[in-house]
A and B are shown apart, each in its own frame.
Chain A
Amino acid sequence: MRYLPLTEHDRRDMLSVIGAGSIDDLFVDVPEAARLDGPVRDLPNHASELSVERHMTALARKNTVAGEVPFFLGAGAYRHHVPASVDHLIQRGEFLTAYTPYQPEIAQGTLQMLFEFQTQVARLLGTDVANASMYDGSTACWEAIGMARRITKRGEVVLSSGLHPHYVSVAQTMAKYTGDQLVYSTPNLDDAGDFASLLDYVDGDTSCVVVQYPDILGRIADLKPLADACHANKALLIAVVTEPVALGAIRSPGEMDADIVVGEGQSLGVGLQFGGPYVGLFGCKEKYVRQMPGRLCGETVDADGRRGFVLTLSTREQHIRREKATSNICTNSGLCALAFSIHMTLLGEAGLRQLAATNHANAVAAAERLAQVPGVNLVNDTFFNEFTLDLGREARPIVRALAERGVLAGVSLGRLYPGEDELANGLIVAVTETVTREDIDALATALEEVLA
């Protein structure tokens, strides 16, 4: 077996050093009734690299690859071009096969990278500080809600209708156990978002208001009035960003005085990967740092006075505080954070702004072209690289029909909001730098045919 270095000779020698007659002697603490006398039944035995590769490749071929068709899906996961050096660098064994940096003297590579990541994320989100990553955007979102509860000691949570419905579901699941009361309704295609109406829900019992920016339908609205209303009531504003590239073009939530800003970092460096692993971004105002979940890397000095980095403020964390910890999170998303950070370093400010501008220009071109398809209306007044179309007919079967024609057209609101008839005609279309003029024409043409 190619991953097991011990030889039979080694095993015999080692058993004799141990003073055991056979390997079974080392499993004597297992009750007899629970001992298996051989490999688990009904499962195949070991296989060569070549045959495993054949098996996995055959499975991979059964999927439609995003990069091989006109592709317009977004809704929380975006297809961007990832520079080749990103994937090369994250496969350096010293990053890939390291553990959480508990021994900082021999983990400065990971620690410095995390310090750089935290700074990049804080600057992008417009927050004072950011942590060393969460699992993904959806779990970062409910961790933020929990953090608001700890800070405000209140349990009423107002969720914007523009929040990604999966994020809403996760928050609803967790609220059943934490006792938070959630106010939420599904979005409306006829208005410009619900930020104005959310003001009515904010009062002295409100823990936090959670808004997505840009929202699930792609709309962009000013957060400042909401932030002011929250602060007037000593509640927190939590902003969720599922497309961080947008912040290369539009104002950051932190600039508009959001207290906690969380996000899905998958857009940079990570890739689609059928939904995971992704990387949760988590930033906040400095005054709340001791209520943050997750790991934090901080700068310090070593015994010789040289700059170095360590994991810090761990008195918030489960391995010290046990049942009093701010979160149970342990392993987070370190390698995805590295991929995000490398991609961001390659872009730099100039590259990020250019990338954002190209995304927006492509999206504007696509929106204009698609709105010309008979029966199709653009829902959005504002958007970045994603907008919603009203197809005038149920969108979900249209998406399937387009997939059969080799076009992955977007995410139907029927998929995201099953059973919501008023939303069934909606189609969310994302247009990144990877989309070509030909792709847009292919979608428009196919949509015309299917709707005709």
Chain B
Amino acid sequence: MSINQSGWRPEMTVKGTDTAAPTFTGNKALMLEEALIFEIGSSETTGVEVAEPVAATSRFGDLARTAPIGLPGLSEPETVRHYTRLSRQNYAIDLGLFPLGSCTMKHNPRLNEKMARLSGFADVHPLQPIDTVQGALGVIHQLAHWLVTLTGMHSVAMSPKAGAHGELCGILAIKAALEAKGEGQRRIILVPESAHGTNPATAAFAGFAVEDIPATADGRVDTNALIARLGPDVAGVMITNPNTCGLFERDLKTISDAVHAAGGYVYCDGANFNAIVGRVRPGDLGVDAMHINLHKTFSTPHGGGGPGSGPVVFSERLTAFAPLPFVEEQDGRFELVEEENAGEHHAQSFGRMVAFHGQMGMFTRALTYILSHGADGLRQVAEDAVLNANYVLRSLEDVLDAPFGKAGPCMHEALFSDANLADGFSTLDVAKGLIDEGFHPMTVYFPLVVHGAMLVEPTETESKAALDQFIGALRSVAERAKAGDAGLKSAPHFAPRARLDETLAARKPKLVWKEPAPVAQAAE
């Protein structure tokens, strides 16, 4: 294994040279190209000094590593520069409005980061004796109390690692409850067709068959169709509320009552809880299980794709089946309830989902956020999130088609379709045009129930001025797409990269860096 020792040379293969006058480096002032670590590092370089090992007899048997691994190193200044340069090729909430529908890209308060880094939280091992981690268990217990109270539910499982993992937790609890009743024949989970893809994937993983329930013309689950499908083979439903069209499912309580009467359970996807926190308690709508994305509603950072955290709140009917471990308070002392002390009280738990106790680093951040806002502030969070979304909806519905706009207000996100765009122009073109305007695009082509969907979630942490600028930008791009402005088809023009060839990436996957083949010596 060799690593490029010669230093990286930018390849200047830019097409269309009349518009792109390349520089020697490939850089454009503050827009800096950056090589891969494999092209600039070397296996001898290190940015870490480790104490010289004392002489010792190896205890590896005959398994000592002899072959090179192929890991390039950089000194600290090179490392800081490499990752700082890479970071500048990312859009982020810290740079501007990030209106990804259903993703809830709100501001991440830095106090949360500071608190998570207190050594009393960050430098504690998950298997320390219980008496040495009372503060950590206290964080879990306090956050659990907030989540249960805010949702009006009975209990909460804190260990799921992200939203989809939380879905799995809820569905496994439903499965365990059905099996405990001897009703394993209930093999169907009903999922509205507007659901996020994780819902059917989760149900299928747990061994359920998934049946789609259609949507009505006003963007909600077809209550009559759903109730008509209930029966002795139906285990339950998975409903997102507010749903992925950004609408409140008005009939959820009616649906819950019908599902319960038919012997099933109601799973609510809580990805959009941020729209109703402090205004509605899902427990009052008959929900049996709901995951909460701490990285959405409670503002733990998305980090470019995680880590998340997906605690699941349960109704009384499902509490006995919740996973291990969890925290209980006994006489002012916190206990970790695990396999050994689950006892008769928790004998029906469906088991363990993860090593250790869940996403502690996310719990400290979420609790910090919740305490900062308090009960009154969290209600204001929902109200401002809904206000901002409706402001976007009403400010743009004259230029973009809002398929459910006539039906009433939206919740935390505004949904548009591609109906008003000129022939040959797509939602993708609008999205890429927004990039040139300095915004991250909205969620596109989801939910599937709307053609060319554009789902805009501004969140409550955007000012009116920021919204007005975004609305102006989206209006301008939409008008260009209506007018058939060809420049939009090749947008973005000002991003670090033009549109990327995703087909090539999938057809010939290059998933790891490989040393380029040496260039053959040209025969003279």
Contact = CB atoms under 8 A, between A and B. Distances in A.
A-B interaction: yes
Residue picked from A83, A95, A104, most chain B C-beta under 10 Å: A95
Interface residues of B, number: 215
A181 interface: no
Interface stretch (B48-56, B223-231, B416-424, B474-482): B48-56
A346 B351 contact: no
Contact of B62 (A45, A123, A222): A222
Given A62-B120, A63-B135, A331-B164, A304 B16 contact: yes
A349 B69 contact: yes
Contact of B149 (A40, A222, A279, A361): A40
A17 B394 contact: yes
A221 to B, nearest CB: 7
B427 to A, nearest CB: 13
B515 to A, nearest CB: 11
Contacts of A60: 115, 118-121, 135
Given A34-B284, A179-B207, A222-B63, A138 B355 contact: yes
A135 to B, nearest CB: 4
A249 interface: yes
A95 B89 contact: no
B340 A361 contact: no
Contacts of B347: none
A287 interface: no
A384 B61 CA distance: 10
A358 B123 contact: no
Interface in A63-110: 63-68, 71, 73, 75-77, 79, 83, 85, 87-110
B138 interface: yes
Contact of B381 (A4, A351, A352, A357): A4
Contacts of A34: 253, 280-281, 284-285
B115 A335 contact: no
Interface stretch (A153-161, A182-190, A229-237, A318-326): A318-326
B87 interface: yes
A452 interface: no
Contact of A364 (B56, B76, B172, B391): B56
A73 B201 contact: no
B162 A5 contact: no
B523 interface: no
A276 B358 contact: yes
A275 B358 contact: yes
Interface string A100-143: 11111111111011011011101110001110110111110000
A408 B435 CA distance: 52
Interface in A331-354: 331-336, 338, 342, 344-354
A392 B28 CA distance: 68
A200 interface: no
Question: Secondary structure of the B side of the interface?
Answer: loop
Contacts of A124: 69, 71
A393 interface: no
Contacts of A61: 120, 135
B105 interface: yes
B323 interface: yes
A17 B512 contact: no
A53 interface: yes
Contact of B198 (A249, A251, A328, A350): A328
B186 interface: no
Contact of B463 (A6, A252, A264): A6
Residue picked from A28, A249, A277, A381, most chain B C-beta under 10 Å: A277
Given A249-B60, A321-B201, A10 B37 contact: no
Q: 9 smallest A-B Cβ distances: which pairs?
A: A348-B73, A60-B120, A335-B303, A275-B356, A93-B94, A62-B135, A334-B305, A275-B126, A418-B340
Given A85-B79, A331-B308, A382-B60, 18 more contacts: A39-B379, A46-B374, A56-B367, A61-B135, A83-B76, A98-B92, A106-B492, A116-B513, A119-B512, A250-B63, A276-B126, A298-B510, A299-B511, A309-B500, A329-B162, A348-B42, A351-B47, A365-B56
